[in-house]
Chains A and B, each alone.
Chain A
Amino acid sequence: MKVSRTWLQRFFDTELPSAEEIADALTFHVFEIEEMEAHGDDSILDVKVLPDRAAYGLSHRGVAYELGAILNMPLKSDPLRSELPENSSTNELQVQIENPDKCLRYMGALVRGVKVAPSPAWLKEALEAVGQRSINNVVDATNFVMLNIGQPLHAFDANKLQKKDNRYSITIRGAYEGEKITTLSGDEYTLVEDTLVIADANADTAIGIAGVKGGKAAEIASETTDIILESANFDGTSVRRASQALKLWTDASLRFQNRPSSELAAYGMRDVVALIQEIAGGELIGVIDEYPAQGYTQNPTVQISLDDINKRLGSSYGIEDVTGVFNRLGFSYTQNGESFAITAPSERRDIVIPEDLSEEIGRILGYDQIPPTPLPPVAGMPEQARYRGIERIKDALIERGFTELSTQSFAKEGDVYLANPLDTTRPALRSSLADNMREALTRGVTVAPRVLGPATALKLFDLGMVFAKNGEHLSLSIGYMPLSGKKQSILEEAADALRDLVPSITFTASENVMEANLDEVDIVTLGADYTPAPVRLGAFRPYSIYPFALRDIAVWTPAGTEEFEVEESIVKEAGELLARIDLFDRFEKKDDNGDVTRISYAFRLVFESSERTLSDEDLNPIMERVSAALNARDGWEVR
């Protein structure tokens, strides 16, 4: 939620600290700040309010309340702690709730004689600062109060509703099958049966989707004079399902799905009526308050002791520390020695169990106060045998020159399919690792000179879960492709080596791949006394997404020349694009006495650019430079 520092300042007499300090205070005590930006003289903080605190936190008042508690800076006036007016009722408006389990409270107010006009500058600026579009004074008033205290509100044009016996009649009911509604945005929606609607009962038509969005039919327009204001509380599940079914998420539905207090509706009504009268005039005819959930939604009294708190946090707080926090948060409590019975104010729907209170103490006093404490040692060895068994199999393959891969669990086809795949070309879960392995081998062959240099074989393994009709199991696949020379029985030898380790392992062979179900073997026993070989990795050296290029060079050198001398000479001239160099041939020329006269070294050079595909125009000059440099040395001759 976008929060304006200027708006927050309305709640305090004393000047607030800088936006950065506010952001820090919120970050370390309550909310994450996703972004911060300047807006004229104002600063806008994008405050991430998570579901547990959304019932009160999705409002400037909620953020100000937190800031007041964190900075120990009392609010000059808290709209949720000030008195509610005694509203008079009216016969001109009737409200019926057909689903009291989904509509916990519905307040409707009739205001006559408003003058719809552009909003005053302060209101426009306040809304625009937090990314809202100003529409007109009446609609802006409902939005302002929602963003101020968190209560979603709506205004209907009363003259667009039918009147019967000199009375407007609003019903909150389930949608009819196939019932349609056009929302304020002009989009038409077909409603499903359990969606709750606000209906003009006299006309029997829906004028709003309860808790989600108002209908076009009763839109506030420039000619509007009489309005019906709605401040209600709809069940979170019902609103959430409606939003999901319609794929329509609004400021109102995001708030209702987090179950704000039904008490809040009265504060919202008080504030929106007052603001509309201030900026659009009009006379309040009366307020109807249907409140089926009255008394049911009170916050519980929670029992906790100082010891409970310290035992959970690992802290050593005293009584004054915790009562200080309760006071700053406006919790009412009774104290008996070191035990408390606490009731949170109505908007704090999140204080239900003692652990919730431990969190309040921990975060308000600051988690930096929690001392890092090592766990006490435990007797015996921790249970790691299965893991060690798996690693033993990996180490056996590493020893035989295999490289471990990790591949995607999603597959083109399989026994189990996803209901909502991300990649529609891979809608299934893999039922075997073999396809992934063959794909990896094919790709591996094309990059082998870059990766493996003169190695004669590509040997890979992959270990992971596969999904068959009767369940998932841990699978091992080993794959082999010859890079030069004849095909060898490398897979069979590796399988034999694993059979020596675990006789019961059973492989199935397919083209270039062998695969085994590791859940059929006793991995735990295999790992019982095994310690996986520790390995350290250095920094990652990125590889290019562009193809590499190969160049060979062979050179005669005088007897006694070492390989590294040649390599160094080449590397020095070849420059940045050289990614790899491997000796692939060496032979000596001898004279009649059998003494070495010359040595030939042949190197394979791998070139690569991180920016483009290399061409002859890049490589020929390099190779010419390399040849020239080698030829320039006494007794050296490029062949």
Chain B
Amino acid sequence: MRYSGLTMKDDGRLHPMTVAIREIANIFGRMGFGIAYGPELEDEWYNFSALNVPADHPARDMQDTFWIKDKNNHVLRTHTTSVTIRCLEQMAKEGIEHMRMIAPSKVFRNEATDMTHEAQFYQLDGFAVGKTGEVTLAHLKGTFDQFYREYLGENAKVRFRPSYFPFTEPSVEIDVWYEPKGKEGRWLEMSGAGMLHPNVLKNAGLDPEKYAGFAFGGGLERLIMVKHGVTDVRMFHSGDVRFVHSFEETSA
């Protein structure tokens, strides 16, 4: 698109991450999900231990972690699942019986960066918890089926593959079938998910005999990259004004 004319509006632009989160908040909002926040600098309990990732467990290797200097047992959160555990604690404390939340926020991983890896990126984490039997793995599938159809288009569909995360049991990878207009469709690995592990509920103070629910988490940049054809994840948080102005923008 080219601009022309002295009359051009002095146009401000939202960052594509904000635009995506607005759309996502809308879709999940209609499915009853609120939006939760938590600290980026977490202690080991909320990032690992409460999520059933004990010290000296090989599962710790699944996420390369930034540790804080001179502050024992503190990390930059490696996932926003730390927000989930805080919400579950709130459920236990306040006697709330149902909760659905998403936490679309920044997380950190100590990994070499390239076109598809950044040491800081956004994650879309979330959960739905209710009385045992009210929220099942089938609901996880239904939720993502709807989310992707609304966000990526009517042709989108999801499939699960078995996986492992210490904080869910069963654990699955969510793949989405994405068919961009005029292009061939393909399966994309989008999110990890599963039914919350009873130890996680217990650690938050909930009775795992009475409550159950699903949780999920996946990179947000990747979703935006797929949808809009962004080629390099490092552009997102580069502070480069060119990136924000590189999308055609229309009001919805």
Chain A residues near B (Cβ < 8 Å): 27-32, 50-54, 236-237, 240-241, 257-258, 311-315, 353, 355-356, 358-359, 362-363, 367-368, 370-378, 382-384, 386-387, 391, 394, 397-410, 416-423, 429, 436, 439-440, 443-444, 447-448, 450-455, 458-460, 462, 464-465, 467, 471-472, 532-543, 563-564, 567, 571, 580-586
Contact A535 B146 (CB under 8 A): no
Contact B163 A50 (CB under 8 A): yes
Interface segment out of the listed B14-22, B43-51, B78-86: B14-22
Chain B residues near A (Cβ < 8 Å): 1-6, 8, 10-19, 22-23, 25-26, 28-29, 31-37, 39-41, 56-59, 62, 66-71, 76, 98, 100-101, 106, 108, 110-113, 119-120, 128, 132-139, 141-146, 158-164, 166, 169-173, 195, 197-198, 212, 228-231, 236-252
In angstroms, Cα B134 to Cα A373, docked, is: 11
Contact B143 A374 (CB under 8 A): yes
Decide yes or no: A541 and B170 within 8 Å by CB, A311-B133, A312-B137, A408-B237 being known contacts: no
Residues of B within 8 A of A417 (CB): 68-70
The distance from the CB of B122 to the nearest CB of chain A, in whole angstroms, is 9
Contact B237 A406 (CB under 8 A): yes
Contact B142 A362 (CB under 8 A): no
Contact A383 B35 (CB under 8 A): yes
Contact A312 B212 (CB under 8 A): yes
Residues of A within 8 A of B110 (CB): 420, 422
Q: Which residue of chain A has the shortest Cβ distance to B173 in the bound complex? A: A32
In angstroms, Cα B71 to Cα A294, docked, is: 41
Q: Which residue of chain B has the shortest Cβ distance to A254 in the bound complex? A: B58
Contact B241 A405 (CB under 8 A): yes
The distance from the CB of B1 to the nearest CB of chain A, in whole angstroms, is 8
Q: Which residue of chain B has the shortest Cβ distance to A237 in the bound complex? A: B56
Contact B5 A583 (CB under 8 A): yes
4 smallest beta-carbon distances between A and B, as pairs: A314-B138, A314-B136, A538-B248, A383-B34
Q: Which of B58, B120, B242 contacts A408 (CB 8 A)?
A: B120
Contact A373 B136 (CB under 8 A): yes
Residues of B within 8 A of A448 (CB): 241
Q: Which of B13, B108, B138 contacts A404 (CB 8 A)?
A: B13
- Give 5 A-B contacts (CB < 8 Å), ordered by A residue: A53-B164, A375-B128, A454-B6, A541-B246, A564-B4
Contact A416 B68 (CB under 8 A): yes
Residues of A within 8 A of B237 (CB): 406-408
The distance from the CB of A606 to the nearest CB of chain B, in whole angstroms, is 9
Residues of B within 8 A of A536 (CB): 19, 249-252
Contact A378 B6 (CB under 8 A): no
Contact A537 B248 (CB under 8 A): yes
Residues of B within 8 A of A374 (CB): 31, 139, 142-143, 146
The distance from the CB of B247 to the nearest CB of chain A, in whole angstroms, is 4
The distance from the CB of B40 to the nearest CB of chain A, in whole angstroms, is 5
Contact A372 B164 (CB under 8 A): no
Residues of A within 8 A of B164 (CB): 50-53
In angstroms, Cα B31 to Cα A373, docked, is: 12
In angstroms, Cα B245 to Cα A585, docked, is: 23
Which of B23, B69, B164 neighbours the largest number of chain A CB atoms within 10 Å of its CB? Answer: B164
Q: Which residue of chain A has the shortest Cβ distance to B230 in the bound complex? A: A540
Residues of B within 8 A of A52 (CB): 164
Decide yes or no: A384 and B58 within 8 Å by CB, A51-B164, A450-B242 being known contacts: no
The distance from the CB of B187 to the nearest CB of chain A, in whole angstroms, is 11
Decide yes or no: A384 and B34 within 8 Å by CB, A51-B58, A51-B59 being known contacts: yes
Contact B29 A384 (CB under 8 A): yes
Q: Which residue of chain A has the shortest Cβ distance to B31 in the bound complex? A: A375
Q: A372-B158, A382-B33, A401-B11 are in contact. List 11 more A-B contacts (CB 8 A).
A: A27-B161, A355-B198, A370-B137, A374-B142, A382-B28, A383-B35, A391-B18, A440-B240, A464-B106, A535-B14, A563-B4
Contact B68 A363 (CB under 8 A): no
In angstroms, Cα B159 to Cα A372, docked, is: 10
Residues of B within 8 A of A394 (CB): 14, 18
